[in-house]
Structure 1
């Protein structure tokens, strides 16, 4: 599956940028993944850019009201989508204003990384790490311990 991680704005915090680079490097050894950045602006314009960037893919938005997955569940979800032939999945992290109700309704799925509201750069690093963890589970590598 080809993953698109779509965010509003580039990570500005140096540690977040380094964390993202590290996990994207690891992920690219086992999956196709790209990070797409859309420009910040009014929510309507941002959401239009997010929709355009996620065209022809399974749209998954990250929001604190979404469905929570355990790491093992995410690995099984990926395995099922691969079996079903899903070609592309877009993981969409909003900006400071989050996602509108209308935008959430346009998504195929809505996930949460935490019941806390996470700053978007933190969410980006956590998401990349969890994708990497899911693939390490599928490959039966020792990264995940349970």
Structure 2
């Protein structure tokens, strides 16, 4: 599986920027990862063309880590793009273009924090699949 994460805006908060860099490096040990930053929400779908599109949205489906792992396993051999909106969230066109609407939490997360949580969960799932002890249910 080839992973692409497309986010509106680069992380400006130091903790988010450092966390994104850390988890992106960890993920790349297990799977190819491309990380793109765009200026506006309308640029998200074009960057995800040719990929399964997983759109992060607070109205999306909540997954356990194990269920998220099964979802990613179902995309094995495919290119998967995760789309992270900006402070205003996603326009309806982006939500309609999703193959999966994914909620990271029932709470509304600040977009930089959502990006960091997504990368940590991708890393967790990849280590789980590899049989490493990082994930402890």
The 3-state SS of whatever aligns with 1:17 is helix
1:73-129 deviation digits (Å, cap 9, x = unpaired)? 1112122221xx32x111001011111223211211100000111001000110000
Question: What is the root-mean-square deviation of aligned Cα atoms in Å?
Answer: 1.0
1:71 shift after superposition: 0.7
Q: TM-score, normalised by structure 1?
A: 0.90
Residue among 109, 112, 119 paired with 1:118? 109
Quote the Cα distance in structure 1 between the aligned partners of 2:19 and 2:54.
22
Quote the Cα distance in structure 1 between the aligned partners of 2:29 and 2:90.
31
Residue among 125, 128, 132 paired with 1:141? 132
Q: TM-score, normalised by structure 2?
A: 0.96
1:117-142 deviation digits (Å, cap 9, x = unpaired)? 10010001100000000011111101
Paired residue for 2:15?
A: 15
Paired residue for 1:26?
A: 26
Residue among 88, 93, 96 paired with 1:102? 93
Paired residue for 2:48?
A: 54
Query: Any runs of at least 4 consecutive aligned residues in structure 1 with deviations exceeding 6 A, and if so which?
Result: none
Q: Which runs of 5+ in 1 are unaligned?
A: 40-45
Aligned positions, number? 137
Quote the Cα distance in structure 2 between the aligned partners of 1:103 and 1:8.
12
The structure whose Rg is larger is 1
